[in-house]
A and B are shown apart, each in its own frame.
Chain A
Amino acid sequence: MLIPMRASIQSVAATLTLAAAALALGQALPFVFGGRMPRVVGSSLLDQLLGDARLAVSESLILKADEYYHGGVRVDGCTHADHDHEHDHDHEHEQEQEADSGAHADSDPDSEGGHDHEAGASHAERRRHHPWRWINAHIHISEHRHLASNRSQELMPWYWAAARVDPGNLDAWLLAADAINHDLGNPAEALRILQVGIRHNPGSAELELDAARIQLNSFRDIPAARASLERAHTKWKQARETGKDADGHLKMRILFYLCHLAKQRDDTAVLIRYADEARDLGITGGAYDAILKLAEP
C-alpha cells in the first residue's frame, strides 16, 4: 500500500520539478541570450504562423473587402481603392476650384462613373444556349453594383483584419480611414486609425498626407495639417534618398496642399519653392495645374 503511494508522490514531485524547470528556462533564456533568440522580441503569433505570407493574406482580405464593395462580385479593374483615389482627385479638383475662396468641401462618396464592365457578346451567347451556363448565369451574380455609402461598415471587418494581419499594408489603414471618414462621417475615428497606422509605418508619407487632409478639411486644424504635410514631405524625400519606391504623384499631392496652406498665409517665398519642386517632378496636369494657379501672382 505504501509503495504505490510513495511512487505516486515521487512521480508528482518529478513532474512538478520538471514543470518548474521548464518555466524557469522559459523565463531565463530571453535574458541570457538577448537578441540572439530565434524569435524576434515583440513579434506576434501571426508573425510566427504566417511569416512573410502576412502581406499576401492581408492583400487577399483587402480584395475581399472590394468584393463586398461590389455586392459579392470580384470585379477586375474597379476597386474600392480606385474610388478612394477618386475621392482624392475630386477633392483636389474642388480645392483647385475653391482655393481662391478658401472653402473646402468633400466629394460624393458614392460615385459610380468611369467604369465599363460589359461582358463579350459571344460569351453571353454561349451562356444563353448551354444549359449549365444558363443556370450558372442566373444563380451566380455577375452584375456590377457598388455598396451604398451608408453600408460601408460592412467593409470594416475585412480592413480591420487586413491591418491586424499585416500592419505594414498601407492600404488597410488608408481604405479603412477613407471609408470611415467619407462614407460613415466619422473623421475623428479616421484620424485615429491613420495615427495608429503611422505608428506602425513611421516612414509612410501617404498616411501623413491623408491625416493632414482630415485635419484640414474636417477639423480646420491648419497647424496640425501643416505639420503633417511637412512630415509627409520629409518622409517622401527620405524614401527617395534611401532608394525606396517614391511615387511622384504622391509628392505632387503633398506639394499641392503645402502650396495651398502657403497661399493662405501669404508666404510667397515658400509657395514658389514648393511650386519649383512640383515643376521638377515633371508631371503635368491635375494637381500641377492647380499648383500653378496658386502660384500665380
Chain B
Amino acid sequence: MNACLRQLAALCGLSLRELFRRKDVWVVLALGLLILAPLAELKPYGIGGASRHLHEIALLLIWVASAFIAIGVAGRQFPPEFEHRTIHPMLAKPASRTTLLVGKYLGAWSASALATGSFYLLYGLFAGVKMDLWFPPVFIQAFVLHVGFLTVVTAFSMLGSFCVTPAANLTVSGIVVGGMFAFGEHLEEMTAGHPAPIRALAWLADAIAPHVEFFDLRRRVIHEWGPVGADVAAAVMLYAVVYAVACLAITGWLFRRRTC
C-alpha cells in the first residue's frame, strides 16, 4: 500500500515538475498582467469604478489558460513514454498499469489544479486590492467547480491520447471542450427543427460529451448573483467524478490491450 502511494506521489511530482519546466504558467501570468494592468487603469469618459469587465476578462483568461494547460498536460502523459519506450522500465518496476494510469492522471489533474489555483489566487488578490472584493463565497465556489471541470477535461484528454495522435488529441479535445462550453446548454433547442439523424447525433453528444458548461460560474461571479445551492454544486461535482472515472476505465481498458 505504502509502495503504491509512493509510486503515485512520484508520478504526480513528475507531472508538476514538467508543468513548471515548460513555463506555460509563467506565459499565461505575464499575458494576464499585460492585458489587465492597463485595463484596470482605464477610465472611459473619465468615469471610474467599473470592475465587471475586468472580472470578465480575467475569468475568460483563466478558463482558456486552464483548459489549454489541462488538455496539454494530460495529453502529454503517455505518448512520449510510448514513443521513447520509457514505458518499459516504468512497467518493469513493480508498478501496475492501473497505478501508472492513476498516477499519471492524478499528476496531470494536480498540475492543472495547481496552475488554476495560482491564477485564481492572483486574480482574487487583484480583485481585492483593486475592487475591495476579498474572496466572496461565489468566488470560492467558482474555483471548486473549476477544479471539477479540470477533473473531467484531464480524464477526457488522457482518453484521447490513447485513441489518436497527440496533435489530433489536442485539436479534438479543444474542439469538444470549446464546443460544449459554447453550445452544450442548447444542443436540444439548436437541433429541434432539424432532420432526425442530426437530432440523434445531438442527443448522442448531449448524452456522452463532457458537459463542461456545468462548471461555469463566471456570470454569477461577474454580476454578483451569489453562489448556487449546495445540492446543485454536489450534483455537478458528482458528475465530474463519475465522468472522469468512466473515461479512466475506458483508458485503462485501452492501455491493457495495448502492446507496449
Cβ-defined partner of A132 (8 Å) among B45, B46, B206, B223 = B206
Partner of B44, one of A68, A132, A139, A160: A160
Given contacts A132-B206, A132-B211, contact A154 B51 (CB under 8 A): yes
Contacts of B225 in A (CB 8 A): 71-72, 141
What B residues does A158 contact at CB under 8 A? 53
Decide: A157 and B50 in contact? CB cutoff 8 A.
yes
Cross-chain contact A154 with B52 (CB below 8 angstroms)? yes
Contact (Cβ within 8 A) B44 A157: yes
A189 touches B219 (CB 8 A): no
Contact in complex: B232, A138 (CB < 8 Å)? yes
How many Å from the CB of A210 to the closest CB on chain B? 15
B interface residues (Cβ-Cβ under 8 A, vs A): 42, 44-53, 185, 206, 211, 213-217, 219-220, 222-223, 225, 228-229, 232, 235-236, 239
Contact in complex: B219, A157 (CB < 8 Å) = no
Residue of B nearest to A177 (CB): B45
How many A residues have CB within 8 A of the partner chain?
27
The closest CB in chain A to the CB of B43 belongs to A156
Contact present for A68 and B223 (CB under 8 Å): yes
The SS class assigned to the A binding surface is: helix
In contact, B44 and A135 (Cβ under 8 angstroms): no
CB of B47 within 8 A of CB of A189, answer: yes
Residues of B within 8 A of A161 (CB): 44
By the criterion CB–CB under 8 Å, are B235 and A135 in contact?
yes
Q: What is the CA–CA distance of A71 and B216 in the complex, to the nearest angstrom? A: 16
Given A72-B225, A139-B214, A193-B45, A156–B232 Cβ distance below 8 Å? no
Residue of B nearest to A186 (CB): B47
| Residue among A72, A132, A156, A193 making CB contact with B219, cutoff 8 Å | A72
In the complex, what's the smallest C-beta–C-beta distance from A194 to chain B, in angstroms? 11
Please tell me which one of the listed residues B50, B206, B213, B220 contacts residue A141 in the complex, with CB atoms under 8 A apart.
B220
Partner of B50, one of A71, A132, A153, A189: A153
Could you tell me if A72 and B222 are in contact, using CB atoms closer than 8 angstroms? Answer: yes
User: How many Å lie between the Cα of A139 and that of B146 in the bound state?
Assistant: 13
Instruction: Assess whether A153 is in contact with B213, with CB atoms less than 8 Å apart.
Output: no
C-alpha gap A156/B215 in the complex (Å): 29
Beta-carbon contact of B211 and A139 below 8 Å: no
Max chain A CB contacts within 10 Å: which of B48, B49, B52, B185? B52
A156 and B228 form a contact (CB under 8 A): no
Q: Is the CB of A156 within 8 A of B213?
A: no
Residues of the B chain whose Cβ atoms lie less than 8 Å from the Cβ of A159: 44
A136 part of interface (Cβ distance < 8 Å): yes
Measured between alpha carbons, how far is A139 from B218 in the docked complex, in Å? 10
* 6 A-B pairs whose Cβ atoms sit less than 8 Å apart in the complex: A71-B223, A72-B219, A132-B214, A135-B236, A139-B214, A193-B45
Closest 5 CB pairs of A and B: A160-B44, A72-B223, A72-B219, A138-B232, A156-B44
Extra A-B contacts (6), CB below 8 Å, given A135-B214, A155-B50, A157-B53:
A138-B232, A139-B214, A139-B216, A154-B53, A157-B44, A189-B45
Q: Which of A218-253 contact B (CB under 8 A)?
A: none
Asked if residues B228 and A154 are in contact (CB atoms below 8 Å), the reply is no
Contacts of B52 in A (CB 8 A): 68, 154
B223 with A189: CB separation less than 8 A: no
